């Protein structure tokens, strides 16, 4: 089932929960905080050894992580809001996939995923239930990339089998992940308990892709590069609290 289809099904369910009348009032500001879980729907191209070619079916995968999510909405009109998603840095392990499945942890990275969306609120401001939908743009910044000895040993093994180097020639590795800009989709609902305080549940899908470059090191000097394109495309789930100003 495609991500777009899943969003359509959930949107119909939320928006059919009550008749569409008016939305939050212009000038309202909602601040939300809670647990945000990033679940990648990841895939990668085969690893490519610079100057040699691809390593068949040798790929990587990215695991999930949960952090503190913070979102805000400013109502521009009675129906339209501008939403911002932020969070404490997410930390992900990068592991082997395909022919590298089971090899273990190859690297880790942190990222920040600020997201800006244009939101639609269909219901009257007096309603306890306030569903909303949004579309916008996600910017993902990767930092603190670190590799493991498992990755270094694997790259050294590739160098031995493909390039004929002596065992232990590759004794270090570095990882660089490019930044990503892509489309983001959002669905959420506020359940207001009084005029200001409520509960919130929301989900996002973000188009996140990055070019990963692994640099092989021989006694600190660059000995070659391995590249791959990684599509992370996560679902982000958040539950928390809403405060309306």
pTM for the model? 0.85
Q: How far is CA 97 from CA 7, 60, 90, 155, in A?
A: 28, 5, 21, 15
Residue 97 has pLDDT above 80, yes or no: yes
Whole-angstrom distance, CA of residue 92 vs CA of residue 208:
14
Looking at the DSSP assignment, which residues form a beta bridge with residue 175?
214
pLDDT in tens, 130-153: 899 999 999 999 999 999 999 999
Q: Tell me, what's the pLDDT at 30?
A: 94
Backbone torsions φ then ψ of 170, nearest 5 degrees: -90, 110
Residue 67 has pLDDT above 70, yes or no: yes
CA nearest neighbour of 238 among 206, 208, 199: 199
Q: Tell me, what's the pLDDT at 2?
A: 54
Which residues lie below 8 Å from residue 5, measured CB to CB, with a gap of 6+?
A: none
Domains of the chain: 3-244 (2.40.160.20)
pLDDT in tens, 176-202: 999 999 999 999 999 988 888 999 999
User: Exposure pattern of 7-19 as b/e (b: 16+ CB <10 Å)?
Assistant: beeebeebbeeee
Whole-angstrom distance, CA of residue 124 vs CA of residue 130:
8
């Amino acid at each position: 089932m495609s991500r777009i289809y899943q969003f359509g099904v959930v949107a119909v369910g939320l928006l059919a929960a009550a008749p569409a009348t008016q939305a939050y009032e212009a000038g309202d500001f909602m601040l939300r905080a809670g647990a945000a879980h990033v679940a990648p729907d990841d895939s990668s191209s085969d690893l490519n050894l610079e100057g040699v070619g691809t390593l068949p079916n040798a790929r990587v995968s990215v695991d999930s992580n949960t952090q503190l999510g913070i979102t805000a909405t400013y109502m521009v009109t009675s129906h339209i809001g501008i939403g911002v998603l932020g969070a404490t840095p997410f930390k992900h392990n990068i592991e082997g996939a395909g022919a590298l499945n089971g090899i273990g942890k190859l690297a880790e990275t942190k990222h920040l995923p600020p997201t800006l969306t244009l939101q639609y609120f269909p219901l009257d401001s007096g309603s306890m239930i306030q569903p909303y939908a949004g579309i916008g743009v996600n910017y993902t910044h990767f930092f603190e990339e670190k590799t493991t000895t498992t990755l270094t040993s694997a790259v050294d093994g590739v160098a031995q089998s493909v390039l004929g180097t002596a065992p232990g020639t590759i004794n270090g590795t570095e990882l660089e992940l490019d930044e990503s800009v892509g489309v983001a989709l959002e669905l959420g609902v506020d359940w207001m308990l009084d005029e200001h305080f409520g509960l919130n549940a929301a989900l996002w899908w973000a188009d996140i892709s990055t070019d990963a470059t692994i640099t092989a090191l021989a006694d600190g000097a660059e000995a070659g590069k391995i590249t791959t394109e990684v599509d992370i495309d996560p679902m982000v789930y958040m539950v928390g609290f809403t405060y309306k100003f």
